[in-house]
Amino acid sequence: MKRTWLAVSLAVFVSLLLLFGVAFSLGRWERFGGSKVALIAVEGVILDSKEVIEQLDKHRTNPSVKAIVLRINSPGGGVAPSQEIYEEILKTRKTDKKPVVASMGSVAASGGYYIASATDLIVANPGSITGSIGVLLQIPNISGLMQKIGVKSVVVKSGAHKDLASPTREMTDAERQILQGMLDDVHNQFIDVVAKGRQIDRKKVEAMADGRIFSGREAQSFGLVDQLGNLQDAIERAGAMAGIPGKPTVIQERKRRLFLIDLLRSGLSLFDIALPIYPPSTLSVNYLLW
């Protein structure tokens, strides 16, 4: 009888071990256990939405995840990826009825604030840099340099504006009007999103949407932030909103990086203090960015 009990216990232990091993290898380990809060990091310039959207979808369909916290530490980024993440957050809130809380790190401005405005609650540190509600397009012009070195650009085009914003010549007034019209349209989209998400009168948002930045405490006084606090405060609020008793269990997907990338990131962190000094929206890679 004793041997039979030991054999059964060993079989159960091995089965559970295999089950957890398979679940871990398939990325499903977080489905075990009780109610949880999922933590998603939005870091750096927002140039692609794929990773964040995949995580939102994964946690949205996980029945053990009852709430999501977005830890935003970003100065902004591309228009389209910011809008895609924004829409996915709304889907999580409305379709799956899971509360989403934004936690602002050092900086959550421009595209970073656009994303935050889609959440149920925004928590910021008193010194977090946020705001910068606006759009910017920077176009380098090297025509003067080309003239000095004797290089000419020959363009063959199918339409008058096919080479719009070419860096090899001066911009015409007509081209400037076209680009300004596009920027004004996207700017209005940004204002609409903030006014709707924060439930602030559109006229008030327009007055703040001139590209200026705010500290977390200033943003709270204007209604752009709900409360002051750190990441742990945001996690606890998310758990309370989801009805999780006590201190909630937190899960976060961590991706392994190459050692060289880690080394570069640690070196670039020296510039963290300098980043907020410049308007966060002035991050351009020859493309339209918040």
Identify which of 214, 71, 70 has the alpha carbon closest to the alpha carbon of residue 129.
214
The C-alpha angle with vertex 221 and arms to 220 and 225, in degrees rounded to 5, equals 20
Determine the Cα–Cα distance for residues 220 and 201; give it in Å rounded to an integer.
15
Pairing between β-strand 121-124 and β-strand 65-74 as defined by DSSP bridges: unpaired
**Count of beta carbons in the 10 Å neighbourhood of residue 78:** 20
Q: Which of 162, 196, 247, 284 is catalytic?
A: 162
Determine the Cα–Cα distance for residues 188 and 201; give it in Å rounded to an integer.
14
162 is catalytic: yes
Nearest-Å Rg of the Cα atoms of the chain is: 24
The 10 Å CB-count burial string (b at 16+, else e) for 272-283 is eeeebeebbbeb
Q: Which of 110, 117, 215, 281 is catalytic?
A: 110
110 is catalytic: yes
Q: Looking at the annotation, which residues are catalytic?
A: 110, 162
